[in-house]
Structure 1
Amino acid sequence: MKFTFLSISFLFCSVVSFAQNSTVTDSTDVEKLEEVVVTGQINPQSVNKSVVEVKVISRKDIERQAGNTLADVLNNTLNLNITPNTSTGKSGVSLFGLDSQYFKVLLDNIPMINEEGVGNNMDLTLINLDDVERIEYVEGAMGVQYGSNAISGIINIITKKSSKNKLDITAYVQEETIGDEYEWFDKGRHIQSIKVGGNISEKLYANATYTRNDFGGFWNDKKGENYELNDGLRGHEWLPKLQQNSKALLSYEAEGFNIFYRFEYLHEDIYKYNETVDPNENASTGTTNPSALDEQYTNNRLYHHLNSSGKLFKKVNYNVSLSYQEQTKDLERYTYRIRSGAKENVEEGEYQSRSAIFSRGTFSNLLNSEWLSVQAGYELTLEEGSGSSVAIVIDPEEGAVSQSLNNYDVFAASEMQLTERFSLRPGVRVSFSNLFDTQYIGSLSAKQTLGDDWELRAIVGSANRTPNYNELYTYFVDVNHNVQGNGALTPENGVSTFLHIKKRSSLADGALRLKNKISFNYLNVDDRIELIVVNQSPLAYQYNNIDSYKAMGVFSENELYYQNIKAQLGASVQGISKVLDSRTNSNDDFLYNFQLNANVAYTVPKWDTTFSLFYKHIGEQQQFVEKTNAEGNQEFFTGKTEAYSWLDTTINKSFFDGAFITTLGARNIFDVTAVNTTAFEGGTHNGPPTQIPLGYGRSYFLKLTYHLTL
């Protein structure tokens, strides 16, 4: 009842502000009205002039949240949910109910690699933000501009490539509790970072960054690595992990010609301590030598990116990138002697790897016209991989499969300024592959301004999702299992439609500025790939194109600026329908979910201090679950996951003209750890989970930053 009242109040405020007809006072410093964006654009341009609806998270927003990884920053985003996996150390992500297979994560317009593919299925906790200038993201299918797997949207991380200063040095340390757990080494979160950058000459800029992020795991009732009793308390509830990230950039800028090279290396260790302890009793001596079978997972990611942009023949704008990336996942299994700390029977090797050569080029201003802009482009992806997360084989010689997936794409888009207030942007892409039939992707976007205050945008786009490595090549067959990939799979087909109505207004002679937006969305995915039973006896599973997915809803996002206050408020109602043709008696009804988010920042200039609050509420989520009824027949029931809310707060204080910055904050103030659920089915050997882990409770952090500018 409380949140229903809030949502009604919110919609009322939206309607009132939409009804205002005052002209917006120009305030680029506060509202960033002239912020230039590159995502989905033919040429870089103001976010307000873009035909495509682009959202921006600025560097100041990142620092206000003390965000270290992309997961930290996006946790408050409307329609985007992040769920941690306590058993693997990864984080799962969904946008409009579709998981991370359906949206792309880009770094400077280049899809990022991970151990499961290129661009999608990213673990957002592996993306460090210390050299990031801003984050741009677009909701809805962006297949024309960014190819396969960009069905629900894209996130584009833009890094810093220049500076006005001769030398910039930034160093910080951050100490954070994990719930109420903290120790200098073994417990809590400990982060250290240093970044050095500057202008070598008028045209040459370079920077380098190193970050160490030590997460001590969430112990809760567990006793850690050196606990020797066999009572199920050894290890951690959330796995401890250590990330080390090194980056470097060299950039050259001249009139009509720019080039940069960016390098990144990530190393992550995840430690999994078995809760089962073997006492190894010696009856003759009456002694024990307890041991456990432990595992250490290691991620290594290597990233190279060479980019050149400028003008050809003093007319055509070009932007060409060449990238080589690889990520491997290694596993070390060993017997750990708890008392001595010795490792025995060590078995180690690489069990998952991906590498890719990627090139993207765009050429715009191909026609000499004031009302028509034309862009042509290409994308080349040569991807190779081995290993499967379904069937872990440490030694590739013992059964891991190595395969390749190559895509060769060409695309074109045009932007037509048909009238002073109406723009139209059609686009098309053709994708060729070594595994699949030729794919055709299209999009059509339109923007209409009504006076100086109203903007209408409509975007219709398509995109496909390429079957991933596991779906194509998994072969997990033994006495107890038969799970196989399917080389005959075809890409899933996705279409999305978004309508955005935006209003800007000002009140009280410009002292109060409002930006209000209401949006309607529809997404449809056909030929969804699902793991289905293909043989009852003996039981065998295989991936097939069989299901479909629909999502539709309405959401509103609103911003308010008044003196030293900046506030944002959003609400969303989304309905999801999953047509499970892979099941009997499938149900295609829509199940609805309500979300609310808000953040407020209040700055006290004479104190050089900003107080911030970040809030998000996710209402009760529903999902059809197939279970056995009282008569012994399979039937669909509506499973439910409880509603929950997040609240974070930070205080940013500057000293000595910004040379020192202190950020003090609290995360998860409502102390959420897990929510009850009936929305899952049991696995082959396990019953359904009754709770979903979401957090490790209320935590506190202190970040100390030093910044030197010459």
Structure 2
Amino acid sequence: MLNITLLWGQHNTVVTVLAIHDDSPLIGTTLQPVEQSSTAGWVTNMEGKAYLNITQPTLIRVSSIGYLTIEKLISPGQSIKIKLEEDVLGLEEVVVTGSFVPTTSARSLYAVKKLDASIIEARGSVNLGDALQTQLNLKTIQDDVLGTRVVMQGISGPNVKMLIDGVPLVNGAGGEFDLSQINMNNVERVEIVEGPLSVQYGTNALAGTINVITKNYAANETSINPNAYAESVGQYNADVVFAKGWKNLSVSLSAARNQFDGFSSTGERKENWIPRTQYLGNVKVKTSFKSLNITGSYDQMWQDGISHGNATSSFNNRTGRLSEVANDNYFNTRRLNGSLIVDGKLSDKQYIHLVNGVSRFKQSSRKFIQDVIDDVRWLSTNIEDHDTTSFTTWTFRGTYVHGNTRENKGAYITAGYEASINTASGGRISADADGSVNEYGLFTAVEVPLSAKVKVQPALRYIYSNSYDTKDIDFLGADLPLLPSLNIMYSKDRKFDIRFSYGQGYRTPSVRELFYEFIDANHYIVGNRNLQPEVGHNLNASATWRTTIGKITAAFTPSVFFSQIDNKIDLIQILDRETLPDEVPKNVPVARVYDNIPNFKAYGINLAGELVAQNGIRLSPGFGLLARSGSEADDKFFRSYEANMNAGYFLKQMDVKFNVFYKYNGRISEFARKQDGSIGVLTLEDYHTLDASLSKTLFNGRLFTTIGAKNIFNVTDISLTGDGSKGLVLQTGREAFYPISWGRTFFIKINYTIQ
């Protein structure tokens, strides 16, 4: 709601900018001529006033952090009061995921979900898995060894592109990314885009993209931020961030230690959640050269974990007597991420974004025989019980944009390149693996505003693979290796918008899916060199209606999607044990192989809302339906429902914020054809989760404390029923239950800032 009062003057052009809700002056508001260079402009003083030296009527853009940007035609000699509406729905927040140039949330062609630092802190999120737990249309999957994985739009982790500051991360053990390995201690926000972004990011972006944006520090800023976290389950974390800024240079250093003692819901020695210790380090350097920003970063994670086995009575040859003996597996994990990013304007109509990055995952495993009674252990003598395997991805991506990049002010064209080089080595990678699996791409897009309210962006990506004939993409039936996408957006006065997107996805099998070999007395899990690439299609449509009801600002966002993937790659159970090689015991408990599943389909309907009241209450309700099918289900769809409610109340007088996070996870089924031709269905029963927290600032905002309770309903293990193969929970190795959480816990998190 814009409220403008004109006061005519004779000599000066004076603009006073106020907040609409209480007429307080907005200090530091920028006023910038729309049609001139971005370097021109003015800033309001302590009274919210700016003095403009204009000689003709000029269209001025008025921007203030946390408020809606407006444009106003101002004439010389005017004195004008402009009142800005608070941006309670985040319409003016900058987003980068999916867009070729940074843009605002309201103007992005994609519906970008954002989890900012305040939400991350309020949830007491230690890692990315914690932060995503109550998000609609996302499901986190826990494995006692492989960690926390994500399912988006009903499609599992290998098809979700994981990025840190736009740099792809290599997947780890199990072929998926462990969300518990991304620490939240220095994260500014998380951006989520559902649906394929294969034109922008290539392979692995079929289901969607999750981009973790780390914090930047301002010029001339100096700060030290020590933080501590403790949770009653036996989790103790500490980290510290040092940041120093100069005129054109900023440097930040961070270090963290995360300790988790493990948890067993059964009371047995073997935990559902294995004990682990993490050490993390990061350095980030940012400088500028003219209008270009140059950012270099390096992240390192060290993690040690122990998977205890259940003890059984056994004769200990070393002691010569009967004892309790168990098999314990020790995992040593190293993750490295490095990047060099250059971005910025070459001129008013030229923008570049260059990304060069490396991501490496290395895990060593060793098996020890543990005498529980005498507390002695010795290394297993079986060679297959010890392994070191590593996966590495190099990424080189460049984007050039030409045109007026300010949306709705003209067309612009994008051209870019990307190279993704992927290698693996180690004892569980076949010795005769055919080297690396590499993908190279060229892409282009044109954004055209058809009117002030409608803009369209068609895009194409050319793909070449050193391992597969990408002509199988078969664009327009002409054997062309081109991936198309189309985005259309209609927007009216920030009150109503509609977004439609279509994208084709393509994913070549990973080195792991092709050449992995894990064969011992208890496992037979192997890759498949005959795998075919996945080819998918995705349609997304969403609308957002924003309105004001009395003193409540509200937004309602219904959305639908449909995905179809041919040759979807899954790890499936070998039902016919007679097909196992002769050297593998026929009674091996785990026998699985990577294979293609034809004609996988999924559709979903979601309704999300956002209600913000001036009295400090904020509600975010949501409801979702997910349906999944495939040729193995005779085209029968298996449906699942979910609902969530995130709520907050800010008590301004006490500077205290109360938060509640609730989610209902409906029954979800996996399906596979059994050996007799019938359909086997495995169902995870429904459950509810509820978290609550209270946040308070002290000492003039330097100390920020959050206390709360997680999993108030005390959910631990959820029943698995049916006789299907494992699907989403394929690698848990359990028949009767699935570990959702370690039960009800209480936590405290303390952040302190020294400036």
TM over 0.5: yes
Name which of 128, 131, 137 aligns with 2:183.
Answer: 128
Corresponding residue for residue 452 of structure 2: 420
2:244 pairs with 1:198: yes
1:357–1:489 Cα change, 3 Å: same
Name which of 599, 603, 623 aligns with 1:571.
Answer: 623
1:63–1:144 Cα change, 3 Å: same
Name which of 615, 618, 622 aligns with 2:665.
Answer: 618
Once the two structures are TM-superposed, the CA of residue 649 in structure 1 deviates from its matched residue by: 0.3
Corresponding residue for residue 96 of structure 2: 38
The answer to whether the Cα contact below 8 Å between 1:445 and 1:458 also exists between their aligned partners in 2 is yes
Give distance in 1, aligned partners of 2:522 and 2:327. 22
The answer to whether the Cα contact below 8 Å between 1:625 and 1:679 also exists between their aligned partners in 2 is no
More moved, 424-433 vs 616-625: 616-625
Equivalent position SS for 1:606: coil
Output aligned runs, 1:108-127, within 5 Å: 108-115=165-172, 121-127=176-182
Give distance in 2, aligned partners of 1:452 and 1:358. 37
Corresponding residue for residue 218 of structure 1: 263
Once the two structures are TM-superposed, the CA of residue 152 in structure 1 deviates from its matched residue by: 1.1
Corresponding residue for residue 228 of structure 2: 173
Equivalent position SS for 2:653: helix
Once the two structures are TM-superposed, the CA of residue 400 in structure 1 deviates from its matched residue by: 8.2
Once the two structures are TM-superposed, the CA of residue 567 in structure 1 deviates from its matched residue by: 1.2
Output aligned runs, 1:327-366, within 5 Å: 327-338=361-372, 341-345=375-379, 350-365=387-402
The amino acid of 1:678's aligned partner reads T
Give distance in 2, aligned partners of 1:374 and 1:687. 50
The answer to whether the Cα contact below 8 Å between 1:104 and 1:150 also exists between their aligned partners in 2 is yes
2:424 pairs with 1:385: yes
Corresponding residue for residue 9 of structure 1: none
1:102–1:26 Cα change, 3 Å: farther
Name which of 529, 545, 548 aligns with 1:506.
Answer: 548
The amino acid of 1:524's aligned partner reads Q
Corresponding residue for residue 296 of structure 1: 330
Corresponding residue for residue 260 of structure 1: 295
The answer to whether the Cα contact below 8 Å between 1:534 and 1:542 also exists between their aligned partners in 2 is no
1:705–1:400 Cα change, 3 Å: farther
Once the two structures are TM-superposed, the CA of residue 167 in structure 1 deviates from its matched residue by: 1.1
The amino acid of 1:424's aligned partner reads V
The answer to whether the Cα contact below 8 Å between 1:351 and 1:400 also exists between their aligned partners in 2 is no
Once the two structures are TM-superposed, the CA of residue 543 in structure 1 deviates from its matched residue by: 4.2
Name which of 617, 630, 647 aligns with 2:690.
Answer: 647
Give distance in 1, aligned partners of 2:575 and 2:667. 34
Corresponding residue for residue 483 of structure 2: 441
Once the two structures are TM-superposed, the CA of residue 102 in structure 1 deviates from its matched residue by: 1.2
Name which of 417, 428, 439 aligns with 1:407.
Answer: 439
Give distance in 2, aligned partners of 1:459 and 1:361. 23
Once the two structures are TM-superposed, the CA of residue 386 in structure 1 deviates from its matched residue by: 2.1
The amino acid of 2:121's aligned partner reads E
The answer to whether the Cα contact below 8 Å between 2:437 and 2:510 also exists between their aligned partners in 1 is no
Name which of 543, 546, 556 aligns with 1:516.
Answer: 556
Give distance in 1, aligned partners of 2:692 and 2:624. 23
Corresponding residue for residue 238 of structure 1: 273
Once the two structures are TM-superposed, the CA of residue 440 in structure 1 deviates from its matched residue by: 2.1
The amino acid of 1:572's aligned partner reads G
Segments of structure 2 that go 5 or more residues without pairing to the other structure are 1-69, 71-82, 471-480, 582-591
Corresponding residue for residue 486 of structure 1: 528
Give distance in 2, aligned partners of 1:101 and 1:108. 19
- Cα deviations by residue, 1:340-369 (Å, 9 ceiling, x for unpaired): 654433678643211122111110125899
2:141 pairs with 1:90: no
The answer to whether the Cα contact below 8 Å between 1:622 and 1:679 also exists between their aligned partners in 2 is no
The answer to whether the Cα contact below 8 Å between 1:375 and 1:414 also exists between their aligned partners in 2 is yes
Equivalent position SS for 2:364: strand
Equivalent position SS for 1:470: helix
Give distance in 1, aligned partners of 2:736 and 2:593. 27
Equivalent position SS for 2:88: helix
The answer to whether the Cα contact below 8 Å between 1:371 and 1:418 also exists between their aligned partners in 2 is no
1:27–1:615 Cα change, 3 Å: farther
- Cα deviations by residue, 1:590-648 (Å, 9 ceiling, x for unpaired): 121111011111011121110000000012223445568xxxx5422554332111100
The amino acid of 2:715's aligned partner reads V
Once the two structures are TM-superposed, the CA of residue 165 in structure 1 deviates from its matched residue by: 5.5
Output aligned runs, 1:278-293, within 5 Å: 280=315, 291-293=325-327
2:598 pairs with 1:547: yes
2:504 pairs with 1:462: yes
The amino acid of 1:416's aligned partner reads V
Once the two structures are TM-superposed, the CA of residue 579 in structure 1 deviates from its matched residue by: 1.7
1:588–1:191 Cα change, 3 Å: same
Corresponding residue for residue 310 of structure 1: 344
Once the two structures are TM-superposed, the CA of residue 213 in structure 1 deviates from its matched residue by: 1.0
Corresponding residue for residue 556 of structure 1: 607
Once the two structures are TM-superposed, the CA of residue 373 in structure 1 deviates from its matched residue by: 0.9
Name which of 311, 317, 328 aligns with 1:276.
Answer: 311
Once the two structures are TM-superposed, the CA of residue 470 in structure 1 deviates from its matched residue by: 3.3
The answer to whether the Cα contact below 8 Å between 1:682 and 1:688 also exists between their aligned partners in 2 is no
Equivalent position SS for 1:365: strand
The answer to whether the Cα contact below 8 Å between 2:484 and 2:504 also exists between their aligned partners in 1 is yes
Give distance in 2, aligned partners of 1:316 and 1:636. 56
The amino acid of 1:556's aligned partner reads L
1:220–1:529 Cα change, 3 Å: closer
Equivalent position SS for 1:101: helix
Equivalent position SS for 2:483: strand
Equivalent position SS for 1:274: coil
Give distance in 2, aligned partners of 1:287 and 1:701. 45
Name which of 649, 658, 665 aligns with 1:602.
Answer: 649
The answer to whether the Cα contact below 8 Å between 2:458 and 2:486 also exists between their aligned partners in 1 is yes
More moved, 361-370 vs 259-268: 361-370
1:653–1:402 Cα change, 3 Å: farther
- Percent identical: 28
Give distance in 2, aligned partners of 1:685 and 1:94. 14
Equivalent position SS for 1:145: helix
2:365 pairs with 1:319: no
- Cα deviations by residue, 1:643-690 (Å, 9 ceiling, x for unpaired): 111100000011111111221111111111122222453689999712
Equivalent position SS for 1:703: strand
- Cα deviations by residue, 1:402-429 (Å, 9 ceiling, x for unpaired): 7311111111111111111100011110
The answer to whether the Cα contact below 8 Å between 1:281 and 1:289 also exists between their aligned partners in 2 is yes
2:86 pairs with 1:51: no
How many residue pairs get aligned? The number is: 644
1:538–1:605 Cα change, 3 Å: closer
1:492–1:131 Cα change, 3 Å: same
2:670 pairs with 1:636: no
The answer to whether the Cα contact below 8 Å between 1:114 and 1:301 also exists between their aligned partners in 2 is no
Equivalent position SS for 2:361: strand
The amino acid of 1:372's aligned partner reads A
Give distance in 1, aligned partners of 2:328 and 2:242. 39
Once the two structures are TM-superposed, the CA of residue 290 in structure 1 deviates from its matched residue by: 5.1
1:548–1:81 Cα change, 3 Å: same
Q: Which has the larger radius of gyration?
A: 2
Give distance in 2, aligned partners of 1:687 and 1:654. 45
Equivalent position SS for 1:677: strand
Name which of 587, 590, 604 aligns with 2:634.
Answer: 587
Give distance in 2, aligned partners of 1:359 and 1:597. 39
Once the two structures are TM-superposed, the CA of residue 504 in structure 1 deviates from its matched residue by: 0.6
1:383–1:340 Cα change, 3 Å: same
